[in-house]
Homo-oligomer: A and B are copies of this chain.
């Protein structure tokens, strides 16, 4: 009995193994495919790295070149491997750090080496140890300064490395000079290979990535608000049940934790030369400020969303009917404003396309405020007011955030010289419309019609195709 049981077990294990194995292989293949599809630049980058390393390796392999540079030619291969990063900015930053640090540390190391050699056989190793210890400890401590860590961390590492290698090398002075020259020139060759390949072959600009990241963050918030607006009262029931259907609404969650990627992209972008519509001194700090405002808005939306999916905040039909109109409009118009801003920001244009939506949202906010504060509630059970009041107040916060984001986008637009796009409506007319909408709490239902009329006119703004393929810019 026992034997048959254990043999059965082994049999099932053997039968299970290939299935498990092929399953694992398929899973890895699928993940690899997805990784490439999510960002095809990853494939290009891998090929670029392979190409650059092969070029420099051959340089190392061929004897004539090998003879002139000696074993230190391998520094060229090392430089390519260590310096080649995903974006132009990161590669440039690392390359410049490596080059400059080698130059400075080489000079200082040479000086230390010379100084120590003057102090005799006993003094030399002692003096050298003191020099190496002091510079290593000091440079390591300097790496803790946040600003230096962000931009020059790699340079300080290479500084410690080169200084230690050169100052303690047991060579004579002229040998050390030759070593320093070879190391510098091979690093120059490797670094140049990286920079040439990274800029000329399908360049990935960190600045553009930052621009796109912030635009897509604004858009994600807009998507949530628009989705909330169009099925506001459904949402509070459905979202708990059919989470998958509403998954696209939850895109905003990634905005909550985008700070570190924004900061590193901005640090890389600072190294990048002017390219396309980005100048060398593009206002990247302003991008970080805008990113922080967008995150502020995401925190409000997170609180709002958690309120809506909490079971005890179901809003009764009676209350819903009263606040539905202004809540829906507020959310929808804020969402449209954010999406218009995102679209303008992505295309680096200034246009008044978000203004009417913001005006509408503010009008809706005003009417929601007066609804919440008016005597409308007297004949309703107070226990039904609380959830509605909370959701309403949080929505009002969201409108405030939207306004701040719009201001920041406009400020950035003038700092970074975004192109002005003439709307199909004259500025006078659009200001008139905004005025009508912002004053028109009484006839607020007219405003969407006016806005729809604008969007029906032939599109003048550049039409941008989003990730999912749908048109983002509707005005």
Contact = CB atoms under 8 A, between A and B. Distances in A.
Given A46-B140, A382-B375, A303 B313 contact: no
A31 interface: yes
A130 to B, nearest CB: 9
A168 B60 contact: yes
Interface of A: 31-32, 35-36, 42-43, 45-47, 49-51, 53-54, 57-58, 60-63, 66, 71, 74, 77-78, 81-82, 125, 128-129, 132-134, 136-138, 140-141, 144-145, 157, 160-161, 164-165, 168-170, 256-257, 259-260, 295-296, 299-300, 302-304, 306-307, 310, 313, 372-375, 377-378, 382-383, 385-387, 389-390, 392-394, 397, 400
Given A31-B145, A63-B170, A394 B390 contact: yes
Copies of this polypeptide in the complex:
2
Contacts of A51: 133
Contact of A397 (B160, B165, B306): B306
A46 B140 CA distance: 5
Given A145-B31, A300-B303, A78 B125 contact: no
25 contacts: A35-B141, A35-B144, A42-B141, A46-B138, A47-B137, A49-B140, A50-B136, A57-B132, A58-B129, A60-B169, A71-B71, A74-B169, A77-B164, A77-B165, A81-B160, A257-B260, A302-B303, A307-B397, A310-B400, A373-B386, A386-B389, A386-B392, A387-B393, A389-B390, A390-B393
Nearest to A28: B145
Contact of A125 (B43, B45, B61): B61
B313 A306 contact: no
Nearest to A47: B137
Nearest to A51: B133
Nearest to A144: B42
Nearest to A313: B393
A154 B35 CA distance: 20
A61 B300 contact: no
Given A303-B304, A310-B397, 15 more contacts: A45-B140, A49-B140, A50-B137, A54-B136, A58-B129, A61-B168, A81-B157, A256-B256, A302-B303, A303-B394, A306-B397, A307-B393, A377-B385, A386-B389, A386-B393
B66 A303 contact: no
B393 A53 contact: no
Given A49-B136, A50-B134, A382-B374, A397 B303 contact: yes
Which residue among A31, A43, A141, A372 has the maximum number of chain B CB atoms within 10 Å of its CB?
A: A141
A375 B63 CA distance: 94
A251 to B, nearest CB: 16
Contacts of A295: 256
Which residue among A82, A168, A373 has the maximum number of chain B CB atoms within 10 Å of its CB?
A: A168
A144 B49 CA distance: 13
Given A256-B299, A303-B300, A35 B145 contact: yes
A392 B157 CA distance: 53
Contact of A49 (B36, B137, B304): B137
Contacts of A299: 256, 299, 302-303, 306
Contacts of A170: 61, 63, 66
Q: 3 smallest A-B Cβ distances: which pairs?
A: A50-B137, A373-B383, A303-B303
A288 B260 CA distance: 17
Nearest to A305: B299
Nearest to A400: B310
A327 to B, nearest CB: 14
A302 B378 CA distance: 32
Contacts of A259: 257, 260
Nearest to A31: B145
A43 B374 CA distance: 63
Nearest to A295: B256
A221 to B, nearest CB: 14
Contacts of A53: 132-133, 136, 160, 164
A383 B260 CA distance: 41
